[in-house]
Structure 1
Amino acid sequence: MQDDSTVIDISPVANGEPHQVPTPGTIRIAAIGDLHVNEASEHPYRDLFLEMNDIADVLCLCGDLTDFGKVREAEILAEDIRHLKIPTVGVLGNHDHESGHCDEVGRILRQAGLCLLGENAHIHKGVGFAGVKGFGGGFGRRMLGAFGERATRAFVQESIDECMHLEIALRSLRTEKKIVVLHYAPVEETVVGEPEQIYPFLGNSRLGETIDRFDVTAVVHGHAHRGTYRGKTPNGVPVFNVAAGIAKENGKPYALMEI
């Protein structure tokens, strides 16, 4: 079980900006999801990314980076990503798959400097980052099982496959501190605020079960735009819903924490 003191949210000081002096022996992680860059956007995140250069050591992007998964949307975001001077890791979301060009979207963003996570993990300053998109399926006793029609079993298998990819990445990490980056939620707690009818499409408990088999420090995800900022896995790993529209404790569209 994780101690909450391992993950420290950075709160604003009197002038509204986060504290500038990091705690010795820590790294600062900025995290945001659901950017939804569209074709009409013009440098939508350039200023925000420039701000992150000065206050964070690493940026995590938690999926739905584009609005419809179009190549042009990815190109617009890539222009802003190139202004980042800090390492950037992330995953794609369901919107990034919408147009059937997710491979091209991923290629464009990787060329701009984004390290897309999957079965391969990333390490920066001794902190390991593992991540996958995730998938739906529901939570707890209401989680969908692989029974019935072929389409139902295929849906559940997609969820299981994503968990397997995450497990492979986590097994490859030997770092003391590990951050999991997702799009879909691993716990019900951080989707609270959304209509209950769509909970099964916002995440699944299998992701949380996978996380709890490893010594994970914290989890960041997006997707639930009207959800809740903080939650925990059953074993106590802190989970943060960092969708851009979620109110953060630092008053910014992104979360900022020290690990």
Structure 2
Amino acid sequence: MGDLHVREDNASSYRDLFAEIAKEADVLVLTGDLTDLGKPREAEILAQDVKACAIPIVGVLGNHDYECGAPDEVARILRDAGMRVLDGQSCEIGGVGFVGVKGFAGGFGRRMLGSFGEPAIKQFVSEAMNETLKLENAMRQVRASRSVVILHYAPIVETIESEPLEIYPFLGSSRLAETIDRFKVSAIVHGHAHRGRFEGRTPGGQPVYNVARHIEKPTGKPYAILEI
């Protein structure tokens, strides 16, 4: 599940939902935008629900978690609560390897933004390339025969369909899928696009799931259940 957007002024808790998930699953994967504005206080609120979860939690940060300029503090708070927050790293839980990066924007296919022109454009593309490099390095560390790639940004267009066309380039990048398709993975999950489709495939045929909380899923719940 992704895009929890926990806020300081929101009294709602994910504790009951996490408890429900723990009865159905072995691992809870969170695909970023865990907080609404990236405030440490928002992370502290979520951390209480993380501590109460009966199964391991692993995931990545999203763009909202960077908004206040304190992503390291947000990640530290959640790690201290027991969540494995990945940023270019991998870990193994129950014989399944989990690889996580936030990813970045840039567009898809032949319309991907190229590193040409103004320094600002080159810096933008460099950020996307750095994320894919982190992803590739982490994937090379996986030794398990089954693996899940955790992203915030989308690696393909299919799972962001129904979003306005004008914002497609800001919802993800084909560079992520190109990197993933150099390896064999069991599943790729992402959030970020609150509209879209639950399922798609990379050009190499590997399954991708948009698990943003707002996306309609086969469970009929805010979360998806994947068997790896």
State the AA in 2 paired with 1:85.
A
Is there any run of 5+ residues in structure 1 with no aligned partner, and where? 1-31
Q: Secondary structure at the match of 2:89?
A: coil
Q: Provide the residue aligned with 1:158 in structure 2.
A: 127
Q: Provide the residue aligned with 1:254 in structure 2.
A: 223
State the AA in 2 paired with 1:87.
P
Q: Provide the residue aligned with 1:67 in structure 2.
A: 36
> How far apart are 1:43 and its partner, in Å?
4.7
Aligned counterparts of 1:87 and 1:42: Cα–Cα separation in 2: 24
Aligned counterparts of 2:170 and 2:83: Cα–Cα separation in 1: 26
Q: Provide the residue aligned with 2:66 in structure 1.
A: 97
Q: Provide the residue aligned with 2:137 in structure 1.
A: 168
Give me the TM-score of the superposition, normalised by structure 1: 0.87
Q: Provide the residue aligned with 2:9 in structure 1.
A: 40
Q: Provide the residue aligned with 1:82 in structure 2.
A: 51
Alignment partner of 1:210 is 2:179: yes
* Number of residue pairs matched by the alignment: 228
Q: Provide the residue aligned with 1:200 in structure 2.
A: 169
> How far apart are 1:183 and its partner, in Å?
0.2
State the AA in 2 paired with 1:224.
A
State the AA in 1 paired with 2:163.
E
State the AA in 1 paired with 2:185.
V
State the AA in 2 paired with 1:56.
A
Contact 1:43 / 1:77 at 8 angstroms: preserved in 2? no
Contact 1:90 / 1:117 at 8 angstroms: preserved in 2? yes
Alignment partner of 1:106 is 2:75: yes
Q: Provide the residue aligned with 1:240 in structure 2.
A: 209
Q: Secondary structure at the match of 2:225?
A: strand
Give me the TM-score of the superposition, normalised by structure 2: 0.98
State the AA in 2 paired with 1:46.
R
Contact 1:43 / 1:79 at 8 angstroms: preserved in 2? no
State the AA in 2 paired with 1:98.
E
> How far apart are 1:174 and its partner, in Å?
1.4
Contact 1:43 / 1:76 at 8 angstroms: preserved in 2? no
Alignment partner of 1:145 is 2:114: yes
Alignment partner of 1:49 is 2:15: no
Q: Please say which structure displays the higher CA radius of gyration.
A: 1
Q: What's the RMSD between the two structures over aligned residues?
A: 0.7
Aligned counterparts of 1:125 and 1:74: Cα–Cα separation in 2: 26
Query: Could you list the runs of 4 or more consecutive aligned residues of structure 1 that deviate by over 4 angstroms after TM superposition?
Result: none
> How far apart are 1:243 and its partner, in Å?
0.3
Q: CA deviation digits over 1:20-54, x for unaligned, max 9?
A: xxxxxxxxxxxx00000000123520100011121
Q: Secondary structure at the match of 1:121?
A: strand
